[in-house]
């Protein structure tokens, strides 16, 4: 249906630069998620695409046509708001058909389109109700229905699930993914929840302080984060980081020492590091194992355990690390106060230079 291209987009509110020179492409039919901590500019970026904010600099193209000068309605987009923004004085059907009424479509055609959308979203029984009489999930669906009815080139979602409870959120996540397949549409989705991003996205854009930190498929970001921020942001619980120091260089790698445990050799090509540089060594909680590791072993005392049956979380503190999280599948008989050894392998670990960039 449509691709979107952002070229050097910047946005400034007064003296505050909210978006700093962002360039990215959303391919046709792609489900792209903007993710980042609050205040990173992800919603602003979405609103710039929607036309609810004006660009300070840069260009936005949809289907290779520049659209950043157009009024919101002229851009062929539909947006689902976090608050759903359902008009309280309209019924569900009136809410869904409003854009078509504004566009002066005839009644029969509006009715058909509204019913079709209601059908997809299982809202047919609620068409005559006012939003007040709907549950949170139903309102959410009406908001999506309002977007679908317009048959837009691009769907924009601004944190649409954050007002739902956990269970409903999971259900809607799946429903939205399904919808994306059914509608075969380009979707841009903003969330602060990396789980939503990981589960729904074809492509994730990680933002921080108005800048793109990394763009890629969910598992690419998980497996090969470009920098320490992305590494820490993607994955739950977050990656454990250990402070280290560059000790020397060997063929095909560098030698680093951690505050604790034996020195390691981390394989890489052309790191740009020099001896004595401070580095961060990262291991995801799920990549630790109990006992001796293939490439290294750490010791710690358990101060909290979460045993969920299917998986177990250990919270340790060691001499060098105040907090260390280990995630294992299955049930493990570990108790608070136990001293345990945990091991890791170099292959499933990450190294970040003093500038925060990945060393590969």
Partner 1 sequence: MDDSEYTRAKRRRARNLKLWLAFLLAPPAAILIIFVFLPMASAVVYSLYDWNGLVRKEFIGLDNFADILFNPNKNVILFNAFGNNVKVFVTLMIVQNGIALVLALLLARNPRGFRFYQVVFFLPVILSTVIIGFQWKMFLNPIFGLVNKALHYAGLSEWALPWLGLPETALPSMLLVNSWHWFGFPTLVFLAAIHRIPKDFIEAARLDGASEWRIAREIIWPLIAPAVTIIVVLTFIGSFNWFEIPYIMNGLEGSPQGSTDMLGLLFYRTAFGSVSAGGSDFGSGSALAVLMFIFIFIFSIIATKYLTSREVEMS
Binding site for partner 1 (CB under 8 A): 50-52, 71-74, 77-79, 81-85, 87-89, 98-99, 102-103, 130, 132, 146, 150
Q: What residue ranges in 168-277 does DSSP mark as E strands?
A: 186-191, 203-208, 211-216, 240-250, 253-258, 264-267
Of 51 and 300, CB closest to partner 1: 51
Distance CA 100, CA 108 (A): 11
Nearest CB to partner 1, comparing residues 83 and 274? 83
**Residues in contact with 77: Cβ distance below 8 Å, sequence separation at least 6, in sequence order:** 49, 50, 51, 62, 152, 153, 154, 155, 156
Angle of helix 107-120 relative to helix 92-102, nearest 10 degrees, comes to: 130
51: which 2 tokens? 């036309």
Minimal distance in Å, beta carbon 167 to partner 1? 22
Q: Choose among 348, 247, 235, 204: nearest CA to 289.
A: 348
Parallel/antiparallel/unpaired status of strands 211-216 and 203-208 = antiparallel
CB nearer partner 1, residue 151 or residue 348: 151
Burial of 33 from C-beta contacts in 10 A (0-12 / 13-18 / 19+)? buried
**Degrees to nearest 5, angle at CA 209 with 206 and 213:** 30
Q: Which is nearer to partner 1, 50 or 183 (CB)?
A: 50
86, 117, 144, 190, 265 from 134: Cα distances, Å = 11, 17, 14, 24, 59
Rounded to the nearest whole angstrom, what is the least distance from the CB of residue 179 to partner 1 in the complex? 19
Minimum Å distance from CB 293 to partner 1?
51
Cα 154 from Cα 207, distance rounded (Å): 21
Least distance from C-beta 181 to partner 1, angstroms? 24
Residue 84 or 233 with smaller CB distance to partner 1? 84
| Least spacing, CB of residue 28 vs partner 1, in Å | 21
- Nearest approach in angstroms of CB 73 to partner 1 is 3
**CA distance linking residue 113 with residue 150, whole number of Å:** 8
Question: What minimum distance in Å lies between the beta carbon of 311 and partner 1?
Answer: 39
Q: Could you tell me the smallest distance in angstroms from the CB atom of residue 329 to partner 1?
A: 42
Nearer to partner 1, 89 or 339 (CB): 89
Nearer to partner 1, 102 or 262 (CB): 102
- Omega cis (within 30) before 237: yes
Q: What span, in angstroms and rounded, lies between the C-alpha atoms of 126 and 223?
A: 44
In the bound state with partner 1, the residue whose beta carbon lies nearer, of 72 and 267, is 72
User: Shortest Cβ distance from residue 78 to partner 1 (Å)?
Assistant: 7
The smaller minimum CB distance to partner 1, of residues 107 and 181, is found at 107
For residue 230, the SS3 value is helix
Q: What torsion do the CA atoms of 92, 81, 145, 138 make, to the nearest 10 degrees?
A: -60
């Amino acid at each position: 249906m449509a691709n979107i291209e952002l070229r050097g987009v910047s946005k400034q509110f007064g003296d505050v630069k909210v978006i700093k020179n962002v360039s990215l492409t959303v391919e046709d039919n792609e489900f792209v998620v903007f993710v980042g901590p609050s205040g990173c500019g992800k919603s602003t970026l979405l609103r710039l695409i929607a036309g609810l904010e004006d660009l300070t600099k840069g260009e936005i193209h949809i289907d290779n046509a520049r659209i950043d000068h157009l009024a919101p309605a002229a851009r062929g987009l539909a947006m689902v708001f976090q608050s759903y923004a359902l008009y309280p004085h309209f019924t569900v059907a009136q809410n869904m058909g409003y854009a078509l009424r504004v566009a002066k479509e005839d009644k029969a055609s509006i009715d058909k389109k509204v019913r079709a959308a209601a059908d997809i979203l299982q809202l047919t029984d609620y068409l005559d109700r006012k939003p007040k009489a709907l549950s949170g999930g139903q309102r959410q669906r009406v908001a999506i229905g309002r977007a679908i009815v317009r048959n837009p080139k691009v769907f924009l979602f601004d944190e649409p699930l954050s007002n739902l409870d956990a269970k409903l959120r999971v259900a809607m996540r799946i429903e939205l993914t399904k919808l994306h397949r059914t509608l075969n549409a380009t979707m841009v989705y903003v969330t602060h929840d990396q789980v939503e991003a990981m589960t729904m996205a074809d492509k994730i854009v990680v933002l921080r302080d108005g800048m793109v930190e990394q763009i890629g498929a969910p598992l690419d970001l998980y497996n090969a984060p470009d920098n320490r921020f992305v590494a820490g942001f993607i994955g739950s619980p977050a990656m454990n980081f250990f402070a280290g120091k560059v000790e020397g260089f060997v063929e095909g790698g560098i030698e680093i020492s951690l505050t604790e445990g034996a020195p390691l050799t981390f394989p890489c090509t052309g790191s740009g590091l020099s001896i004595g540089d401070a580095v961060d060594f990262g291991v995801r909680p799920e990549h630790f194992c109990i006992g001796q590791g293939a490439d290294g072993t750490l010791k710690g005392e358990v101060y909290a355990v979460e045993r969920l049956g299917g998986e177990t979380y250990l919270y340790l503190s060691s001499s060098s690390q105040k907090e260390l999280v280990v995630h294992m599948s299955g049930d493990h008989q570990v108790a608070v106060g136990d001293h345990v050894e945990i091991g890791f392998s170099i292959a499933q670990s990450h190294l970040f230079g003093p500038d925060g960039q990945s060393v590969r």
